[in-house]
């Protein structure tokens, strides 16, 4: 004859086999079998005739699962190449041609967005030196000397970035140097063009 514990364990196994998804763990099946066992014994002791006990299902309250809140999506910032911020000194700005407002790579390889007026030029409205008109009179020689000085500096800077490009490691740094090399080449071409125009003005003035 089975003991009470043996009956409860066997009943728990039968419940788990019949209802595999009703409870989360084995202890809950044992608790359900115990409740059935106690209910059966109470009915059998209160009646003279032995009747088969009906299996009753005792509901066990399960703790609700806490759902983690999903992280909210970050708002995507859209940048434009036609807007700038801040101010710019036109006299100083005329001496250099800058890249348009856009995403750039710093010397350390980090990406950033440049929109300052004194560090960027909007396309077709650039204030680079190629927009500076020729100068007549007593200042035309000093203006030519100034162009030649800036041209030498740009050529030296171009050579430096070409060397850095060869020795640089990492795609971001290489991209940074390539962007500067392209900008410097454009600036050098503009300076050479203005130098030729200034020399023409000087020669025409000497005739």
My answer on whether 9 and 94 are in the same domain is no
* Per-residue pLDDT, 6: 86
State the average pLDDT over residues 186-199. Answer: 90
> Contact, 105 vs 175, CB < 8 A?
yes
Report the C-alpha gap between 191 and 69 in whole angstroms: 59
* Per-residue pLDDT, 154: 93
Tell whether 73 is covered by a domain: no
Read off the pTM. Answer: 0.37
My answer on whether 39 and 133 are in the same domain is no
My answer on whether 99 and 155 are in the same domain is yes
Segment 108-150, tens digit of pLDDT: 767 777 777 767 776 655 444 444 445 555 577 888 888 999 9
Q: Count of domains in the chain?
A: 2
My answer on whether 100 and 202 are in the same domain is yes
Segment 144-183, tens digit of pLDDT: 888 999 999 999 999 998 998 888 888 888 888 889 999 9
Tell whether 55 is covered by a domain: no
Which domain does 8 fall in, by range? 4-46
Segment 3-38, tens digit of pLDDT: 888 888 888 888 888 888 888 888 888 888 898 888
Secondary structure, 3-state, the chain: CCCHHHHHHHHHHHHHHHCCCCCCCHHHHHHHHHHHHHHHHHHHHHCCCCCCCCCCCCCCCCCCCCCCCCCCCCCCCCCCCCCCECCCCHHHHCCCCCCCCEEEECCCCCEEEECEHHHCCCCCCCCCHHHCCCCCHHHHHHHHHHHHHHHHHHHHHHHHHHHHHHHCCCHHHHHHHHHHHHHHHHHHHHHHHHHHHHHHHHHHHHC
* Per-residue pLDDT, 15: 86
* Per-residue pLDDT, 130: 40
My answer on whether 190 and 101 are in the same domain is yes
Report the C-alpha gap between 17 and 83 in whole angstroms: 70
* Per-residue pLDDT, 29: 85
Tell whether 58 is covered by a domain: no
* Per-residue pLDDT, 184: 92
My answer on whether 20 and 113 are in the same domain is no
Segment 59-100, tens digit of pLDDT: 656 555 566 665 556 655 555 666 777 777 666 666 666 777
Residue 42 scores a pLDDT above 50: yes
My answer on whether 106 and 21 are in the same domain is no
My answer on whether 107 and 179 are in the same domain is yes
* Per-residue pLDDT, 129: 41
């Amino acid at each position: 004859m089975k003991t009470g514990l043996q009956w409860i364990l066997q009943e728990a196994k039968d419940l788990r086999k019949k209802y595999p998804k009703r409870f989360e763990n084995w202890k809950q099946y044992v608790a359900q079998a115990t409740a059935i066992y106690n209910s059966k014994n109470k009915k059998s002791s209160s009646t003279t005739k032995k009747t088969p006990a009906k299996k009753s299902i005792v509901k066990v309250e399960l703790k609700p699962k806490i759902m983690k809140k999903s992280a909210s999506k970050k708002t995507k910032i859209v940048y434009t190449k036609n807007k700038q911020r801040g101010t710019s000194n036109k006299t100083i700005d005329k001496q250099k041609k800058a890249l348009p407002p856009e995403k750039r790579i710093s010397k350390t390889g980090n990406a950033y967005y440049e929109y300052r007026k004194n560090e960027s030029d909007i396309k077709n409205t650039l204030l680079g030196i190629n927009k500076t008109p020729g100068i007549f009179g007593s200042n035309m020689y000093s203006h030519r000397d100034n162009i030649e000085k800036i041209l030498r500096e740009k050529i030296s800077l171009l050579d430096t970035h070409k060397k850095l490009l060869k020795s640089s490691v990492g795609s971001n740094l290489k991209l940074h140097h390539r962007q500067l090399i392209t900008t410097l080449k454009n600036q050098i071409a503009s300076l050479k063009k203005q130098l030729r125009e200034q020399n023409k003005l000087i020669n025409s003035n000497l005739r």
